[in-house]
Amino acid sequence: MNAHDSERIAGLLEGMGFKKAPTYEPKLGEPGLTPADVVVLNTCAVREHADTRLYGTLGHLAGLKKKRPGMQIAVGGCLAQKDRTEILNRAPWVDVVFGTHNVGSLPVLLGRAAFSNQAQIEIMESLQAFPSELPVRRAAEHSAWVSISVGCNNTCSFCIVPSLRGKERDRKPSEILEEISALVADGVVEVTLLGQNVNSYGVEFGDKQAFSKLLIQCGKIEGLRRLRFTSPHPKDFTDDVIEAMARSQVVMPHLHMPLQSGSNAILQSMRRSYRREKYLSILEKVRAAIPGVAISTDIIVGFPGETEENFQETLDLVRAARFSTAYTFKYSKRPGTAAVSLEGHLSPEVVAERYQRLVALVDDVSLQENRKQIGETVEVMVGSKSGSKDGGRARLSGRARDNRLVHFSANGLEGDIEPGDLVRVAVSECSPFFLIADGAITSHVKTRTRFNAGLNEIDRSPNSAVNLGIPVFVGS
């Protein structure tokens, strides 16, 4: 969600005539140098670490601003929404503070701050208009995020999001479909639908099946190759969504469904109103309906009151669920959340030790699951033109249909393969975090032909005309 907001911020700044400056990487003790005239920090408040990083980065920027007083610094996102005037108290050299609902005001606020030479703050308590109308500078040409809702009606006791992003607001399906069609016309072939809880989409206009209907409708948009979504909530996950995923050719066989804990007692204390049995039953249904589906998750370890027995239940569930990957987090206290006042906060040593054990198990399961892919041919959507070299071998990277990261040998075709292209390759090796495919590319589909010159479908199997050196033209 924040990364998508950053794209909107970049789009607004481009609209003002700014261009992207080289990446700024401050080093400890050095202010570093950036030619940027405006620096915007779009912050996250989900974990404590982000807090520390914001004020550390602002400290670095203070030295830079002394050298270049005309440079403007703006702080937006969830921490700005949470800390408000506190940011200006701690870093009075900041020019603009804007909340999660005020992204569109950034150009005006920067202008006012420059004109009046005074810091500007704008924080709205709730969303007035859906930010979809704002210009966007997409990070990738071929892939885009599309918000279907913002905010959340749940009250998970560890989570600060509802107090910063507000209650759930749903966009109309027609608006979402129009946006996706426009993106596809602009060369996008992969869309990820975004919402804090995509399964409750439709709650605002009273349609419990709105999300599954939306998946089906998106699948009818010609030119859209891949559709993903994040994040679902087990409490609201219904069978019609599984059916829509299974029926649609463009919904990818991947489900990222946050678990948070495998212990019912801890789930209750987290105010997550599903239980481990329900979570596992969803996985069972999804696996039965969608062959080859990969399931990934988020898990918090060391929640207040978590006993060794509770933790063992999480480990057991990880063993049973066979996650392709799991994002693991140490519980961190977030002021303003209900969990802060719970009893039984664990020592950092206990949390760190459990975290190590959880990560070791998650990696082991991921490795075992990835090994099953060796020898399989997978369809990879190429992510970027920049590759890596391993022993002189040029590799490009992309995502398989089930969202596994794949590094594949370009076999001399690196100049011809564009982001968004689909290649078919056989998996030869793996680690817990990615697959490697060092064999031949057996097919190569240019998905963005209207945008890239060249052939749109190239058979690269061993006896194909291309490999025998015969010129071939397929499609237009």
Which residues of the shown chain bind ligand SF4 in the complex (CB under 6 A)? Answer: 152, 154, 156, 159, 161-162, 196-197, 233
Q: Closer to ligand SF4 by CB, 197 or 409: give it.
A: 197
Q: Closer to ligand SF4 by CB, 154 or 411: give it.
A: 154
Q: Is 121 helix (H, G, I), strand (E, B) or coil?
A: strand
Torsion of CA 416, 420, 426, 427, to 10 degrees: 120
Tell me whether residue 132 is exposed, middle or buried, using C-beta atoms within 10 angstroms of its C-beta: 0 to 12, 13 to 18, 19 or more: middle
Q: Closer to ligand SF4 by CB, 234 or 383: give it.
A: 234
* Min CB(337)–ligand SF4 separation in Å: 9
Helix axis angle for 239-247 and 276-289, nearest 10°, is: 30
Query: Cα–Cα distance between 151 and 460 in angstroms, integer?
Result: 46
* Min CB(275)–ligand SF4 separation in Å: 16
Report H helices in 409-465: none
Tokens of 460: 């690269």
* Min CB(155)–ligand SF4 separation in Å: 6
* Min CB(355)–ligand SF4 separation in Å: 19
- Measured CA to CA in angstroms, residue 77 lies from 48, 100, 161, 364 at distances of 15, 5, 11, 36
Q: What would the DSSP string read from start to end of 43-88?
A: E--SSHHHHHHHHHHHHHHHHHHHH-TT-EEEEEEHHHHHHTHHHH
**DSSP 8-state class, residue 197:** T
**DSSP 8-state class, residue 126:** S
* Min CB(147)–ligand SF4 separation in Å: 14
Q: Closer to ligand SF4 by CB, 156 or 437: give it.
A: 156
Q: Closer to ligand SF4 by CB, 156 or 203: give it.
A: 156
* Min CB(265)–ligand SF4 separation in Å: 18
Q: HEC string of 300-311? A: EECCCCCCHHHH
Tell me whether residue 372 is exposed, middle or buried, using C-beta atoms within 10 angstroms of its C-beta: 0 to 12, 13 to 18, 19 or more: exposed
Bridge partners, residue 301, by sequence? 330
Q: Closer to ligand SF4 by CB, 136 or 160: give it.
A: 160
Query: Cα–Cα distance between 314 and 35 in angstroms, integer?
Result: 48
Q: How many CB atoms lie within 10 A of CB 469?
A: 6
Query: Cα–Cα distance between 96 and 93 in angstroms, integer?
Result: 9
Give me the residue label for tokens 């948009």: 221
Q: Closer to ligand SF4 by CB, 197 or 297: give it.
A: 197
* Min CB(50)–ligand SF4 separation in Å: 15
* Min CB(159)–ligand SF4 separation in Å: 3
Asked if 310 and 281 count as a contact pair (C-beta separation under 8 A), the reply is no
Q: Closer to ligand SF4 by CB, 38 or 198: give it.
A: 198
Tokens of 248: 């649609």
Q: Closer to ligand SF4 by CB, 9 or 161: give it.
A: 161
Report H helices in 347-399: 348-371
Backbone dihedral angles phi then psi of residue 64, each to the nearest 5 degrees: -65, -40
Bridge partners, residue 305, by sequence? none
Q: Closer to ligand SF4 by CB, 4 or 322: give it.
A: 4
* Min CB(245)–ligand SF4 separation in Å: 20
Q: Closer to ligand SF4 by CB, 42 or 196: give it.
A: 196
* Min CB(4)–ligand SF4 separation in Å: 15
Which distant-in-sequence residues (6+ apart) come within 8 Å of 129 by Cβ? 104
* Min CB(286)–ligand SF4 separation in Å: 19
